[in-house]
Structure 1
Amino acid sequence: MTSIGAMADDRPLRLVDPEDGQFDLSSYLLEHKGALPVPFVITEPAVGYGLGVGLLFFSESIAESEARAKSLGQERIPPNITFVGGAYTQNGTWAGALGHFHTWDGDRYRYLGGIAKVDANLDYFGNANQARAYSLQGTGLLQQLLVRIGNTHWFAGPRYIYFDSNAVFKFGQTPGDLVGQGRNQRISAASLVVDYDSRDNIFYPSRGVYAELEAQFAREGIGSTQNYDMYAARGYTWLPIAKTLILGLRADTRFSSGDVPFYVQPYVDLRGVKKARYQDRNAISTEVELRWDFRPRWSLLGFTGVGKAYGRQSFDDAPNIVSAGVGFRYLIARKLGLAIGMDFAHSKDQNAVYVQVGSAWR
């Protein structure tokens, strides 16, 4: 068997699972501690294809965190992780980020924080359905602290985001009616977040529910150049309907009021649809996915979805945006339930390919 290093007790890390003889990264990921390089591929149509690389720094291995959780009589406790990385795409978009995830008291408290710098080349379509190129440059900050409610799957707590941006339209295409364009625009928004998570696996679930509710308020009093409110609700569920068939259902809704910057307006979020292609004051996206685990490590997917962005247009007048596609996954780390693969999706006038790590639903 192939060895890629040694664990703390000098046992070799192996790339083959002794249970089925297949290529597998479970041993490496479970026992890894310290810096882990993670290359990734960007396939989002809004910015074009690109590449990125990150470094994940683990405070302890996943195996050590599982042993610690077991000693406390608890479910798996995620290790503390620090991330640093960057990416570049074919249309000249680039970004760099630094982040940290930390838990305390047996996963009762979860902290997530990060800072990022972005220089993106994007298109704004609006209700006129006309692509207008713009550049979005800025520095963003995220701070979040969630607290588990009792011994349940519920978490709640505050979230804060700050984004100091320059949003400038190119080639004389500047619209006169958009909020948030120009230089020195700032978003400063505080949120109340409620999460529910009963998934059997955070990477590639076969059963369970994930849901999040968020009420966000941006105000001049805390540093924002615009005042607006954003209310969001999203939920995913996975239902086993046979031994090898998993039905997935997804709903994602966002509603806004006030002076929302154009580049953070709600949009239809579906595979096969360019991000922010269909934007308005409010947006709804729904998706259904059927997964067939036809081999112990291999799965085939079929999915379809429909969405609508409305507000300036009435709900009835706004077009229905439909997408559909197929995909596959390979279970690359059996003990972690981690799968990788690709999705191929289509919507009106758009084809897209996505490299996926686990579920497409985040």
Structure 2
Amino acid sequence: MSRYSLRAPSSAVKSVSASVLRHCALRASALAVALLLAASYSHAESKFTDPDDGAFDLSNLLLTHRGVLPVPTLITEPAVGYGLGLGLLYFSLPKKSADAPDDSKAPPNITGVGGFATGTHSWGAGLMHFHTWDDDHIRYLGVVGKVGLHLNYYGIQNQPRAYQLDGIAVVQQVLFRIGNSHWYVGPRYTFFDASTRFGPVIPTGIRQFERDQRVAKGGVVVDYDTRDNMFYPSSGTYAELEADLARGGLGSSTNFQEQTARGYQWIPLSKTWVLGLRADTGFSQGNIPFFAQPYVSLRGVSDAKFQDSNQLTAEAEIRWNVTPRWSVLGFGGVGKAYGQLHSFSDAPTAFGFGTGFRYLIARKLGVTMGIDVAHGPGQNAFYVQVGSAWR
């Protein structure tokens, strides 16, 4: 997709969804489902090939024949353990965009449904919809999901303490383009009705622990988007600023403030090489629940392992487009979480690095699929990715 974002919001929902919606599987499993789908439509081979290069491609199926893109996952996210998941993505183009040139199309409308379960008895299910109107001058994002997660809280001594997090999450967001610029602004509302359970002892570092809490935030979102493609950009910038207030009048159990800023830059170094740069920050004040605090998110690092009142993260990625369809990449990043449990200088440093590849499975949408393999502090992990890992 060009110049748009489908990233789920941060903090409370990010703490829930980022850990469990990471796509982790072998390339073979993802392509196997696509091939089975192709076999079921063997009478219409053109649905699964691109007339430009004759390669396997799902663009015609997804757009012309109203097909769905299945995303099977073998979950290896360290935060929730090993498991299986399945997502289904349905695409459609806005009417004015269907016949427009590729570089001027509005983003496709997307509806997604999925679920997962892991060996730690963590599970989740969700539904999302992304829609644009008025030639991409209005963008809507809606998410609803329910989870039951078995996680670890690391605290001051960075030692895991198991806890259970259950809840229902709702996100509503509408962004409006400013004139014909690349800037968007609008409101976002996030609600998470959560229940948390530790053992008989509450870990040191958690202030005013409450088993049942509601996180309800209202905020303003400002986006800047010049990407040439939403899923797997080769050039352009995506930046987002968000300021949120959680108050009783919005449905929240506690009062706090949160500010997040993230920016991604893709720089084409040549026809076949692309450099990506990422910066990600989160700051919070007030009585924010421990599970909703900002945390470092890096491939190879267990989600929420490095978590505190504030976080700073930086990452770089280099991509080599071996062919128009296939690309390989290498990445590495560092981050720190600090504020309440640790000062910035005393906070442990998170790091993650690795390699991966992508296959352009739907050229007209710019959708790629592939796998990343990463190493972090004391662990390895791999992830199935639909497009870029940066969302």
Is 1:28 paired with 2:61?
A: yes
Are 1:179 and 1:260, in contact at CA under 8 Å, matched by a contact in 2? no
Is 1:184 paired with 2:184?
A: no
Q: In structure 2, which of residues 97, 103, 119 is the aligned counterpart of residue 66 of structure 1?
A: 97
Structure-to-structure mapping, 1:322-341, within 5 angstroms: 322-341=351-370
Q: Residue in 1 aligned with 2:109? A: 80
Deviation at 1:233, TM superposition (A): 0.2
Q: For 1:37 and 1:341, how far apart are their aligned partners in 2?
A: 13
Q: Deviations over 1:84-125 (max 9, x none)?
A: 332212211111112322222222111112221110000000
Is 1:162 paired with 2:196?
A: no
Which ranges in structure 2 are unaligned for 5 or more consecutive residues? Answer: 1-37
SS of match in other structure, 1:14: helix
Q: Deviations over 1:210-231 (max 9, x none)?
A: 1100001101222211111111
Q: What TM-score comes out, normalization by structure 2 length?
A: 0.84
Q: For 2:211 and 2:218, how far apart are their aligned partners in 1?
A: 22
Are 2:293 and 2:308, in contact at CA under 8 Å, matched by a contact in 1? yes
Q: For 1:326 and 1:74, how far apart are their aligned partners in 2?
A: 29
Q: For 2:45 and 2:376, how far apart are their aligned partners in 1?
A: 47
Are 2:94 and 2:106, in contact at CA under 8 Å, matched by a contact in 1? no
Q: Deviations over 1:42-86 (max 9, x none)?
A: 33211123222334455xx3385632656xx99312343333332
SS of match in other structure, 1:242: coil
Aligned residues: percent identity? 56
AA aligned to 1:67 is A
Higher helix residue share: 2
Q: In structure 1, which of residues 164, 179, 193 is the aligned counterpart of residue 221 of structure 2?
A: 193
Is 1:139 paired with 2:168?
A: yes
AA aligned to 1:46 is A
Q: Residue in 2 aligned with 1:109? A: 138
Q: Residue in 2 aligned with 1:205? A: 233
Taking only aligned residues, the RMSD between alpha carbons, in angstroms, comes to 2.4
Is 1:319 paired with 2:348?
A: yes
Choose 218-227 or 126-135, whichever is displaced more: 218-227
Q: Which has the larger radius of gyration?
A: 1
Q: Residue in 1 aligned with 2:338? A: 310
Choose 249-258 or 180-189, whichever is displaced more: 180-189
SS of match in other structure, 2:269: strand
Q: Residue in 2 aligned with 1:120? A: 149
Q: Deviations over 1:106-147 (max 9, x none)?
A: 221111122211100000001211100000011111111110
Deviation at 1:36, TM superposition (A): 5.6
Q: For 2:320 and 2:276, how far apart are their aligned partners in 1?
A: 11
SS of match in other structure, 2:98: helix
Are 1:133 and 1:173, in contact at CA under 8 Å, matched by a contact in 2? no
Q: For 2:231 and 2:90, how far apart are their aligned partners in 1?
A: 19
Q: For 1:112 and 1:242, how far apart are their aligned partners in 2?
A: 35
Q: Residue in 1 aligned with 2:311? A: 283
Q: Residue in 1 aligned with 2:48? A: 15
Are 1:167 and 1:180, in contact at CA under 8 Å, matched by a contact in 2? no
Choose 77-86 or 114-123, whichever is displaced more: 77-86
Which ranges in structure 1 are unaligned for 5 or more consecutive residues? Answer: none
Deviation at 1:4, TM superposition (A): 5.3
Structure with greater contact order relative to length (CA < 8 Å, sep ≥ 6) = 2
Are 2:176 and 2:185, in contact at CA under 8 Å, matched by a contact in 1? yes
Structure-to-structure mapping, 1:190-269, within 5 angstroms: 190-269=218-297
The total of aligned residue pairs comes to 354
Are 1:4 and 1:15, in contact at CA under 8 Å, matched by a contact in 2? no
Q: For 1:32 and 1:89, how far apart are their aligned partners in 2?
A: 34
TM-aligned CA distance change 1:128 to 1:3, over 3 Å = closer
Q: For 1:205 and 1:329, how far apart are their aligned partners in 2?
A: 12
Q: For 1:194 and 1:303, how far apart are their aligned partners in 2?
A: 27
Divergent runs of 4+, >6 A: none
AA aligned to 1:306 is V
Deviation at 1:232, TM superposition (A): 0.3
TM-aligned CA distance change 1:65 to 1:87, over 3 Å = farther
Higher strand residue share: 1
TM-aligned CA distance change 1:180 to 1:341, over 3 Å = farther
TM-aligned CA distance change 1:55 to 1:344, over 3 Å = closer
